[in-house]
């Protein structure tokens, strides 16, 4: 589906109460003059490095973006949730108990909202009924984790009225991950939900997924910028491939555990993998996981030391591994990365997110960013026939209610 939210900015959403107008258009007679319209924002996230290892107990380094999904809402006094989205025509009217909250494939995006509502209610949390219009400037299915953005936004909005500042963001991320695993059926790790809920402006989140501890790493790239390049190649077979990789990792771990004591696949050293895993596919998957975890640790060291050239090298190595060992890249992502690396201003590039389409990232020298975007876009389009979208990443805070001073 064409992305209708691409031109939306926070400024034009908030200016002249434009958000109120959008809400009124969407909800018509349901709009209440006497009640305030609240605006919440939930960021997309970009993963700098540490790909496909958050479900293997690895270290990951995502950061929240300044693009994401807005939730524009008015409270209701009955037990109903009514939801609409600017990028999907279908809408949902949910009674907050009973069969309305069951998963139905044909309900599409509404399932994420139903799932969050159901899971929070199962935790006996007090939920605020409301009408919500979701307005997004985050491409969906692009590896910038729009699903987690929507999940955390939904949970945050439903709970904020009753829990406010006491809302436990880490617990919310855990609930959302559980919901995506069990209810949606994607065996993702917790990185996306954690990054969206816990992001911090101008910082990357270093998350150890084995114990769920985290720290913030200043996102300082000196003379370089992080460019996000959306291939506009829709991911295909994404969920089944994702689950296939998760299963392969479990098999590799089970083989290793017969020989070595370990809890997570990232603990295996490459030599142990070579020694104990004979299946060539499982061996490749495990090698990626083991080395990618090392690369995250090294990347953080280089970032902290200000050695941006080495950070770039880590990104490129990560891509090679995702392409050859983990096999989750694809023609379009490879072209994007190769064309990026061809440019004189680029010191490292890789696919980001689940793969099979979606986005790549590149570290590019500031004064060459415009030239980079123009040339890489042109070459990419020539080779793939697809028009990409390139932009500079800005790192923002996690999910929040927007106060009007934050216009």
Which listed residue (23, 27, 55, 109) binds ligand ADP by CB under 6 A?
Answer: 109
Q: Binders of ligand ADP among 143-182, rule CB under 6 A?
A: 143-147, 150
Question: Residue 154: how many CA atoms within 13 Å on its side-chain side?
Answer: 28
Say whether residue 136 binds ligand ADP (CB under 6 A).
yes
Q: Is 278 exposed, middle or buried (0-12, 13-18, 19+ CB in 10 A)?
A: exposed
Say whether residue 111 binds Mg ion (CB under 5 A).
no
Decide if 156 contacts 166 (C-beta within 8 A): no
Quickly list DSSP for 95-148: ESSGGGGS--GGGTTHHHHHHHHHHHHHTT-----EEEEEEE-S-TTSSS-HHH
User: Which residue, 82 or 147, is less far from Mg ion as judged by CB?
Assistant: 147
Q: Binders of ligand ADP among 37-76, rule CB under 6 A?
A: 69
d(CA 125, CA 162): 9
Least distance from ligand ADP to the Cβ atom of residue 313, Å: 26
* Binding site partner of 109, from Mg ion, ligand ADP, none, Cβ cut-off 5-8 A by kind: ligand ADP
Question: Residue 73: how many CA atoms within 13 Å on its side-chain side?
Answer: 27
Decide if 345 contacts 372 (C-beta within 8 A): yes
* Binding site partner of 231, from ligand ADP, Mg ion, none, Cβ cut-off 5-8 A by kind: none
d(CA 228, CA 212): 27
Residue keyed to tokens 């296939």: 244
Say whether residue 351 binds ligand ADP (CB under 6 A).
no
Say whether residue 82 binds ligand ADP (CB under 6 A).
no
Instruction: Tell me how many residues contact Mg ion (CB under 5 A).
Output: 1
Say whether residue 87 binds ligand ADP (CB under 6 A).
yes
* Binding site partner of 388, from Mg ion, ligand ADP, none, Cβ cut-off 5-8 A by kind: none
Q: How many helices (H) and strands (E) does the chain have?
A: 12, 12
Active site residue 107: no
Least distance from Mg ion to the Cβ atom of residue 145, Å: 5
Q: Is 399 exposed, middle or buried (0-12, 13-18, 19+ CB in 10 A)?
A: buried
Say whether residue 147 binds Mg ion (CB under 5 A).
yes
d(CA 333, CA 385): 13
User: Which residue, 66 or 298, is less far from ligand ADP as judged by CB?
Assistant: 66
Least distance from Mg ion to the Cβ atom of residue 177, Å: 11
Least distance from ligand ADP to the Cβ atom of residue 238, Å: 6
* Selected range binding Mg ion among 94-102, 141-149, 223-231, 364-372, rule: CB under 5 A: 141-149
Least distance from ligand ADP to the Cβ atom of residue 218, Å: 26
Say whether residue 183 binds ligand ADP (CB under 6 A).
no
Least distance from ligand ADP to the Cβ atom of residue 112, Å: 6
Say whether residue 141 binds ligand ADP (CB under 6 A).
yes
Quickly list DSSP for 39-77: EEEEEEEEEEE-TT-TTTT-EEEEEEEEEEEEEEEEE-S
Instruction: List residues binding ligand ADP (CB under 6 A).
Output: 69, 85, 87-88, 108-109, 112, 134, 136, 140-147, 150, 353
Instruction: List residues binding Mg ion (CB under 5 A).
Output: 147
């Amino acid at each position: 589906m064409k992305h209708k939210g691409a031109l939306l900015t926070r400024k034009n959403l908030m200016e002249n109460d434009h958000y109120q107008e959008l809400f009124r258009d969407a909800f018509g007679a349901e709009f209440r003059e006497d009640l305030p319209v609240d605006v919440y924002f939930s960021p997309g996230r970009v993963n700098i490095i540490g790909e496909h290892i958050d479900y293997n107990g690895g270290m990951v380094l995502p950061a929240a973006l300044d693009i994401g999904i807005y939730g524009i809402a008015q409270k209701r006094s009955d037990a109903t949730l009514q939801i609409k989205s600017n990028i999907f025509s279908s809408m949902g009217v949910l009674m907050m108990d009973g069969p309305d909250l069951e998963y139905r494939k044909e309900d599409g995006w509404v399932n994420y909202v139903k799932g969050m509502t159901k899971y929070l209610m199962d935790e006996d949390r007090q939920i605020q009924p409301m009408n919500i219009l979701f307005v997004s400037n985050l491409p969906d299915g692009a590896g910038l984790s729009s699903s987690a953005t929507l999940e955390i936004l939904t949970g945050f909005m439903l709970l904020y009225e009753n829990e406010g500042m006491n809302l436990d963001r880490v617990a919310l991320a855990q609930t959302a991950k559980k919901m995506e695993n069990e209810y949606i059926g994607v065996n993702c790790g917790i990185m996306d939900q954690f990054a969206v809920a816990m992001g911090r402006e101008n910082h990357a989140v270093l998350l150890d997924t084995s114990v769920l501890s985290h720290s913030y790493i200043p996102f300082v790239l000196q003379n370089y910028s992080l460019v996000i390049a959306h291939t506009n190649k829709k991911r295909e077979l994404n969920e089944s491939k994702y689950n296939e990789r998760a299963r392969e990792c479990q098999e590799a771990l089970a083989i290793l555990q017969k020989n070595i004591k370990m809890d997570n696949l990232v603990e295996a050293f490459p030599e142990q993998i070579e020694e104990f895993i004979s299946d060539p596919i499982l061996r490749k998957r495990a090698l990626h996981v083991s080395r990618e975890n090392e690369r995250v640790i090294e990347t953080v060291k280089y970032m902290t030391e200000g050695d941006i050239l080495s950070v770039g090298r880590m990104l490129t190595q990560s891509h090679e591994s995702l392409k050859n060992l983990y096999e989750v890249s694809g023609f379009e992502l490879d072209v994007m990365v190769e064309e990026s690396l061809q440019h004189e201003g680029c010191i490292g590039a890789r696919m980001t997110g689940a793969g099979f389409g979606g986005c790549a990232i590149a570290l590019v020298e500031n004064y060459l960013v415009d030239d980079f975007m123009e040339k890489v876009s042109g070459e990419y389009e020539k080779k793939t026939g697809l028009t990409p979208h390139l932009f500079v990443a800005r790192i923002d805070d996690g999910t929040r209610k927007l106060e009007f001073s934050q216009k």
